[in-house]
Amino acid sequence: MNFALSDEQKMLADSAARYVRERCDLESRRQAAKSPDGFSRRHWRHFAEQGWLALTLPEDAGGLGLGLADMVVLMEELGRGLVAEPVVDSAILCGTLLAEGNHAPSRAELLPRVASGEAILALAHLEEGGRAEYDTPVAARATPDGDRWLISGTKHLVCHGPAASHLVVSAEVAGEMGYSLFLVEAGANGIARDDYSLIDGTRAADIHFSDVPATVRLQGAGGAARALHHALDRAVIAGAAAALGSMEAVMDLTADYLKTREQYGQPLAGFQALRHRMAEMLVETEQARSLLYAALAALDGGDGEARARAVSGVKALVAQAGMFVTGQGIQLHGGIGVTEEYAVGHHYKALQLFDKRFGDSDFHLDRRARTAPTH
């Protein structure tokens, strides 16, 4: 057992850390959040050039074929910089669905464009009444029409839907049990969007499909749910790594603040209650990091149940720990912590987002409780 980063991982971490340090200042992050896409096209191009979007995509389709551990190393650094770009949604979540889908031509044609950042993929799956991507009801319908399908229905909270070039859409084909996953172009006829912003500036949309033609079925009813769960699990791990980056950033910011800011004639660091809070923040962060390692181990070696167990554990624990750490970061900063003008509040919102995407803590605790324990 060995936790040390490989030389390649160290280089990856260093280059990401450098970019974040030099280019991802808060001001540019705030501007990106107010831009039409909700993220920075400049950063996005840089990510693509560095191969960060290609990282875990298969080598036979323009990817680098690296593993989840490498992705975790990258995502933690990006999380420190409050990454707003659709790395998780496009390259990991939908990238996995496309890479492991049953449609070779679209895989060969589109995946390299995902890796190059030219194409942006978004998942259109959640619907009214759904609280988690893992178990949302799917009322959307796909009607066979010659060698294609016509999709109708309304999808909810499609993250990065406004900027997406392609959508992965779930819909049920009449007579089949369970939904299939289709790939459609975002500009296809019959698509109408209501766009809005999420709390971190991410643009999302409700998307109405009205007989939208689809020629690519990535997964049929037999395998779609399993494939989607697998892709979601990977997205959870990536998001958890970014969340961990946020937690580390908040601890650094807060420790610095306590050392420099004075109150009642002494630095805030002179107050034991505040120092102890920092200690508690580290304790929770270390717990979160450890369970992320556990999940990497389970995804590497374990069976399906062990994987679900590990991923759900990470989802719940990182969200809880992260909301605690970033919330206390706000508290220790005092007033400036609750403004848009200071990074700590942005990290807090990033964690609130992580908590609610891909199933909340209650969902994942329940999912974990249904699995057999480790010992």
- Within 272-291, the residues that bind a copy of itself by CB under 8 A are 272-273, 276
Of 224 and 288, nearer to another protein (C-beta) is 288
CB of 191 to another protein, least distance (A): 17
The answer to whether 293 contacts a copy of itself (rule: CB under 8 A) is no
Of 62 and 178, nearer to another protein (C-beta) is 178
| Cα–Cα dist 221/178, whole Å | 5
What tokens appear for 220 in the block?
Answer: 């049929």
- Partner interacting with residue 291 (select from another protein, a copy of itself, none; CB below 5-8 Å by kind): another protein
CB of 248 to another protein, least distance (A): 8
Q: Read off φ and ψ for residue 93, nearest 5 degrees.
A: -65, -65
Specify the residue for token string 């009642």.
Answer: 264
Q: Residue 156, Cβ neighbours under 10 Å: how many?
A: 16
| Cα–Cα dist 312/364, whole Å | 5
Contact 295, 311 (CB under 8 A): yes
The answer to whether 272 contacts another protein (rule: CB under 8 A) is yes
Q: Which of 316, 343, 350, 351 binds another protein (CB under 8 A)?
A: 316
DSSP string, 80-121: HTT--STIIIIIIIIHHHHHTSS-HHHHHHHHHHHHTTSS-E
Q: Which of 210, 300, 304, 305 binds another protein (CB under 8 A)?
A: 300
- Partner interacting with residue 195 (select from a copy of itself, another protein, none; CB below 5-8 Å by kind): none
Q: Which of 251, 306, 311, 351 binds another protein (CB under 8 A)?
A: 251
Provide the pairing of β-strand 141-145 with 148-159. antiparallel
Of 213 and 267, nearer to another protein (C-beta) is 267
Of 1 and 273, nearer to a copy of itself (C-beta) is 273
- Partner interacting with residue 221 (select from a copy of itself, another protein, none; CB below 5-8 Å by kind): none
CB of 95 to a copy of itself, least distance (A): 44
Whole-angstrom distance between the N-terminal and C-terminal Cα of the chain?
19
Stretch in the footprint of another protein (CB under 8 A) among 17-25, 144-152, 168-176, 277-285: 277-285
Q: Going residue by residue from 247 to 276, which x/- string records binding to a copy of itself, judged by CB under 8 A?
A: ------------------------xxx--x
Of 234 and 368, nearer to another protein (C-beta) is 368
Q: Residue 333, Cβ neighbours under 10 Å: how many?
A: 22
Q: Please name which of 125, 124, 165, 153 lies closest in space to residue 212, comparing C-alpha atoms.
A: 153
| Cα–Cα dist 144/162, whole Å | 27
The answer to whether 204 contacts another protein (rule: CB under 8 A) is yes
Q: Residue 52: CB partners within 8 Å, gap ≥ 6? A: 16, 74, 78, 87, 91
- The helix (H) or strand (E) run that includes residue 209 is strand 203-214
Stretch in the footprint of another protein (CB under 8 A) among 94-102, 103-111, 139-147, 291-299: 291-299
Contact residues: a copy of itself, CB under 8 A: 271-273, 276
